[in-house]
Amino acid sequence: MGKTLIERILARHSEKDEIKPEEIIDIKIDTRAARDFGGANVVKNLENNNLSIEDPQKTFFTFDTNPGGSDQKYAANQQYCRMFARRNNIKVFDINMGIGTHQAIDSGLVWPGSTFVSTDSHSNIMGSVGAFGQGLGDKDMAAVWAYGSIWYKVPESVKLNFHGKRPENVTAKDIVLNLLSRFGASTLLGTAVEFSGDAVEELTLDERITIASMGTEMGAITLLFAPNEQILKTLKERSAKGYETIRADEDAVYSKEYDMDISLFEPMISCPGHPHDVTTFDKLKRTKIDSAFIGSCTNGRMEDLRAAGAILQNRKLAPGVVLKIVPSTDAIWRQAMDEGLIKTFKEAGALVSNAGCAGCAAGQVGQNGPGEVTVSTGNRNFAGKQGKGEVYLASPGVVAASAVAGYITTPDNIPEKPMTFESRQVYKKTKETENKKSEKYDRPTVVEGKTWFINVDDIDTDMIFHNKYLHITDMEEMGQYALDNLEGWEDFAQKASPGDIIITGKNFGAGSSRQQAVDCFKSLGISCILAESFGAIYERNAINAAMPVLTYVPEVLEEIDYEPGDRVQIDFKEGRIKNLKNNKSAAIDPFYDVQMEIYQRGGLLMQ
């Protein structure tokens, strides 16, 4: 039986000739990178466990979330990593270089068929060149740095077959927003998605990067493009290295295949709160904006900047609108300067910053304030992700056009005169939190506790542990911030007690690769999290941190006559839940074997 593209890549990096979906294998990692905020925790995990670097030539730091080092704690973490790098002969892509995943593509650190991991949840951007990329948590990454390989569950493969001709006004960002509109954040959860068809073959590398970058927002492990001759030529021009293509076998078997008529796609925009809350422009009715942002790993490439420059040429920003532009890499910044784009941006009134992740990672320009309305090319608009205001997601052309108009609009509908501001009041909410330290307890395979039923799907990691706390490396400090960015659950940390159990919905832990979104619950002493499904990275982080996470189907709660707040018993090994109020029990998914092994050891890095 033939292999899908992801199966060919993973099999090539394992000791097995044949692999199948759901099988857990060990895979070798060609390139391993840690960012500035995650890097400090990676180093701490290595040093605390007396672990060394397996291969310094394959190991890198990328300082892209706060290139300016403007936050003292970020600056401290960066220097901490620099000193470790010097001692261990590790290369640092420092604050002048830009986004690490883009550096890896352009400098040849990844190639078709290779494997790459980073503490960046958008590492699946490597699917743009037919490579496997995965975001990992701090413990996971420390293990890869120390051993050169990781355990991995082979994902199911899904194939999207594109037919028809792409409309001229549909950009790469529009393509992925149309896909989000159809599939949402969980239909493709945990799968490897392959793109096929004539319209796909016509996509440039920059366009493939835009689409692949938002695989995380679709819940997918990766969005994969088999590189054609033009992509291979582009890669060779940028990295001075030659590559061969890699494709799925003709008789590969997919769990599902979808036919997509791209001729029906249209320009779209994502509404504040969730990337998959997508709509068309005619439904926004000239929504006034305060600011605009062009950049991120999704739309900070050269083609993106050219699209913005074509609109901003000989135009000015609407009065009161702030436009922030951040190229993804320093090389792109320099090319934009050589082509005159930086001059165009500045003459239009935009702020152009040094290369990096920008507001998407809360470490550089791009943040907005309470009540502020922003249109952005970023990949996420979770509540609080890019600040305290509202964020719409759109293509670079739409962002530039909107910045000129003063309201959300498309490049073909820019008014002669921009909209002006009206006075409005902005209210600022404040709240206090209390420190709450976790208590250590034994590692039983059966736990009992009071339950918290959080009946919400797609709870992302910014809701669980907001990115403004990412500088925290002490687990005891993390618990107090658990769920304080989830509406209605802001006081969870003050009410929860050690031993409590969380029951929640689909795709819990969507989004970022941050380990803190797991460790905050460990800090509180939460004994178990039961969800209908988990974000792929979050599940790995929890397993590797020995934090019990299990899945269930909704009917289970009916079988045991569950009511919020009931005390229940969870059996990790047998896969059972019992309502202690009436002794009714039902089956849930038990621990994987590797999960039980890591749990009993007390964590992935424990000997």
pLDDT at 551 over 70: yes
- The CATH 3.30.499.10 portion of the chain extends over 5-264, 281-413
Rounded Cα gap, residues 305 and 311, in angstroms: 10
Write b or e for each residue in 1-27: b if 16 or more Cβ atoms lie within 10 A of its Cβ, otherwise e: eebbbbbbbbbbbbeeeebebeeebeb
pLDDT at 301 over 90: yes
The band of 65, judged by pLDDT with boundaries at 50, 70 and 90, is confident
pLDDT digits (tens, 9 = 90+) for 486-527: 999 999 999 999 999 999 999 999 998 999 999 999 999 999
pLDDT digits (tens, 9 = 90+) for 257-284: 999 999 999 999 999 888 888 999 988 8
The band of 431, judged by pLDDT with boundaries at 50, 70 and 90, is very low
Tokens of 200: 């796909």
Q: Tell me how far the alpha carbon of residue 473 is from its chain's centroid.
A: 20
Rounded Cα gap, residues 471 and 37, in angstroms: 6
Q: What is the pLDDT of residue 275?
A: 86
Reference 295, options 224, 359, 247, 341; nearest CA is 359
Highest mean pLDDT (candidates 12-21, 387-396, 419-428, 462-471): 12-21
pLDDT at 385 over 90: no
Which stretch of DSSP H or E encloses residue 244? Answer: none
Reference 187, options 255, 131, 253, 136; nearest CA is 255
Q: What is the pLDDT of residue 440?
A: 39
Rounded Cα gap, residues 456 and 260, in angstroms: 30
Q: What is the pLDDT of residue 194?
A: 98
The mean pLDDT value for 197-220 works out to 95
pLDDT at 44 over 60: yes
The mean pLDDT value for 81-108 works out to 94
Rounded Cα gap, residues 294 and 402, in angstroms: 12
Q: What is the pLDDT of residue 427?
A: 45
pLDDT at 534 over 50: yes
**Cβ count near 461 (within 10 Å):** 28
Rounded Cα gap, residues 388 and 290, in angstroms: 13
Least confident of 51-55, 282-286, 363-367: 363-367
Q: What is the pLDDT of residue 363?
A: 55
Amino acid at 274: H
pLDDT at 47 over 50: yes
Which stretches of 196-268 are DSSP H helices? 198-201, 205-213, 229-239
pLDDT digits (tens, 9 = 90+) for 571-602: 999 999 999 999 999 999 999 999 999 999 99
Superfamily of domain 446-601: Aconitase, domain 4 (3.20.19.10)
Write down the pTM of the prediction.
0.83
Which stretches of 214-289 are DSSP H helices? 229-239
Rounded Cα gap, residues 157 and 73, in angstroms: 41
pLDDT at 285 over 90: no
Residue 128 neighbours by CB under 8 Å, 6+ apart? 105, 205, 208, 209, 211, 212, 213, 225
- The CATH 3.20.19.10 portion of the chain extends over 446-601
The mean pLDDT value for 15-30 works out to 95
387 — phi, psi (to 5°)?
130, -165
DSSP 13: T
pLDDT at 303 over 70: yes
pLDDT at 230 over 90: yes
pLDDT digits (tens, 9 = 90+) for 106-137: 999 999 999 999 999 899 999 999 999 999 99
Q: What is the pLDDT of residue 432?
A: 39
Beta strands across the sheet bearing 567-571: 549-551, 528-531, 501-504, 446-454, 567-571, 576-579, 584-587
CATH architecture, domain 281-413: 2-Layer Sandwich (3.30)
**Cβ count near 147 (within 10 Å):** 13
Q: What is the pLDDT of residue 423?
A: 60
CB 543 within 8 A of CB 412: no
pLDDT at 399 over 60: yes
CATH fold of 5-264 = Aconitase; domain 3 (3.30.499)
Q: What is the pLDDT of residue 121?
A: 87
pLDDT at 441 over 80: no
pLDDT digits (tens, 9 = 90+) for 6-16: 999 999 999 89
Cβ-based burial of 531 (10 A; exposed 0-12, middle 13-18, buried ≥19): buried
Q: What is the pLDDT of residue 389?
A: 85
Average pLDDT, the chain: 91
Q: Where are the beta strands (DSSP E) in 86-238?
A: 91-93, 115-118, 132-135, 149-153, 157-163, 192-196, 222-224
The band of 70, judged by pLDDT with boundaries at 50, 70 and 90, is low
pLDDT digits (tens, 9 = 90+) for 158-171: 999 999 999 999 99
pLDDT at 188 over 80: yes
Q: What is the pLDDT of residue 8?
A: 96
Q: What is the pLDDT of residue 291?
A: 94
Q: What is the pLDDT of residue 433?
A: 37
76 — phi, psi (to 5°)?
-65, -40
